[in-house]
Structure 1
Amino acid sequence: MPGRTGARHAVVRPPAAGRTAAPVAAGLVLVLLVLVVVRLPWVGDLGMHAATVQRLRHSPLDPGNPLVDADTPSPYYSPWMLLLGTVARVTDLPVFAVLRLAAAAGLALLVTGVWRYVKTLSAHRAAPALALLSLLLLWGTTPFLWSGFPGLHSLALTVSYPSTFTLGLAFHFWAWLTRAVRGAAGWGVWLGLGALWAVILLCHQFSGVVATAGAVATVLAARPRRTAWLRPVAGLSAGAVVLWAWPYYDFFALFGAGDGLEPVHRVLYGHPVARFGLVLLGVAALVPRWRRDRRDPLVVFFALGVLVVGAGWLSGHYSWGRALPAAVVPAQLAVALEAVGAGRRRLRAGWAALLTGALLLGGWAQAGTLGYVVPRGALPQALEDRYRPPWTGYHWITPWVRYGDVVLAEGRPARQIPAYGPYTVAPGYPDFFLPDEERRTKATGTYFAERTPESVRRGIEREYGVRWVVDRTGALDGTGLRAVARGPDGQVLYAVP
Structure 2
Amino acid sequence: MTGAVAALLLAVVVRLPWVGDLGMHAATIERLRHDPVHPGDPLVDADVPSPYYSPWTVLLGCLAKATGAGTFGVLRGAAVIGLALLLSGVWHFVRTLTERRAAPPLAVLCVLFLWGPVLFEWSGFLGLNSLALTVSYPSTFALGLSFHLWAWLRKALRAGSGWLVFPGLGVLWAVVLLTHQFTGVVASLGAAAMLLGARPFPSRPVLLRLAAGFALGLVVLAGWPYYSFFDLFGAGGDLERIHRALYRNLPGRFGLALVGVAALALRFRRDRRDPLVLFFALGVLVFAAGGLTGHYSWGRVLPAALLPAQVAAAVEAAEVACGDRARARVRARVRARQVFAGVLAGALAVGAWTQAGTLGYVLPQGALPSAVAGKYRAPWPGYRWITPWVRYGDVVMAKTFPARQLPAYGAYTVAPGYPDFFLPDEAAREDAVRRYFAPGTPRAERVEVLRRYRVRWVVAYPGDGGLRADDPALRKVGTGPRGQVLYRVLG
User: Residue 270 of structure 2 is aligned with which of 292, 313, 334?
Assistant: 292
* 2:405 aligned partner: 416
1:260 Cα deviation from its structure 2 partner = 2.8
User: Residue 129 of structure 2 is aligned with which of 145, 149, 153?
Assistant: 153
* 1:405 aligned partner: 394
* 1:59 aligned partner: 35
* 2:163 aligned partner: 187
CA distance in 2, matches of 1:265, 1:470: 28
User: Residue 90 of structure 2 is aligned with which of 96, 100, 114?
Assistant: 114
1:488 has 2:481 as partner: yes
* 1:272 aligned partner: 250
CA distance in 1, matches of 2:452, 2:469: 22
1:448 Cα deviation from its structure 2 partner = 1.4
- Assess if the C-alpha contact under 8 Å between 1:41 and 1:391 holds in 2: yes
What code does the residue aligned with 2:303 have?
P
CA distance in 2, matches of 1:377, 1:43: 22
CA distance in 2, matches of 1:69, 1:268: 31
* 1:479 aligned partner: 471
* 1:8 aligned partner: none
1:345 Cα deviation from its structure 2 partner = 4.1
> Deviation per CA, 1:214-259, whole angstroms, max 9, x where unpaired?
1000011112234432111111100000000000000000000023
- 1:277 counterpart SS class: helix
1:350 Cα deviation from its structure 2 partner = 2.1
Greater shift after overlay, 69-78 or 411-420?
411-420
User: Residue 166 of structure 1 is aligned with which of 135, 142, 146?
Assistant: 142
What code does the residue aligned with 2:39 have?
P
- Assess if the C-alpha contact under 8 Å between 1:46 and 1:161 holds in 2: yes
CA distance in 1, matches of 2:265, 2:431: 52
- 1:294 counterpart SS class: coil
1:103 Cα deviation from its structure 2 partner = 0.6
Q: Where does structure 1 lack aligned partners over 5 or more consecutive residues? A: 1-24
1:89 has 2:89 as partner: no
* 2:348 aligned partner: 359
* 2:235 aligned partner: 257
Greater shift after overlay, 363-372 or 458-467?
458-467
* 1:339 aligned partner: 317
1:26 has 2:2 as partner: yes
What code does the residue aligned with 1:80 have?
W
- 2:311 counterpart SS class: helix
1:134 has 2:110 as partner: yes
- 1:419 counterpart SS class: helix
What code does the residue aligned with 1:412 have?
F
User: Residue 414 of structure 2 is aligned with which of 405, 411, 425?
Assistant: 425
- 1:113 counterpart SS class: helix
RMSD: 1.1
What code does the residue aligned with 1:478 have?
D
User: Residue 73 of structure 1 is aligned with which of 22, 25, 49?
Assistant: 49
> Deviation per CA, 1:141-174, whole angstroms, max 9, x where unpaired?
0111000000001000000000000000000111
Identical aligned pairs, as a percentage? 63
CA distance in 2, matches of 1:489, 1:357: 41
What TM-score results when the alignment is normalised by the length of structure 1?
Answer: 0.94
What code does the residue aligned with 1:212 have?
S
What code does the residue aligned with 2:208 have?
L
CA distance in 1, matches of 2:471, 2:126: 47
Greater shift after overlay, 136-145 or 478-487?
478-487
What code does the residue aligned with 1:374 have?
L
What code does the residue aligned with 1:477 have?
A
Q: 4+ runs of 1 displaced by more than 4 Å?
A: none
What code does the residue aligned with 2:190 have?
G
CA distance in 2, matches of 1:111, 1:228: 29
What code does the residue aligned with 2:99 have?
A
1:387 Cα deviation from its structure 2 partner = 2.5
CA distance in 2, matches of 1:63, 1:428: 18
Greater shift after overlay, 348-357 or 480-489?
348-357
1:493 Cα deviation from its structure 2 partner = 0.6
- 1:470 counterpart SS class: strand
> Deviation per CA, 1:342-395, whole angstroms, max 9, x where unpaired?
445433322221111111110001001011111012223432232232211111
What TM-score results when the alignment is normalised by the length of structure 2?
Answer: 0.95
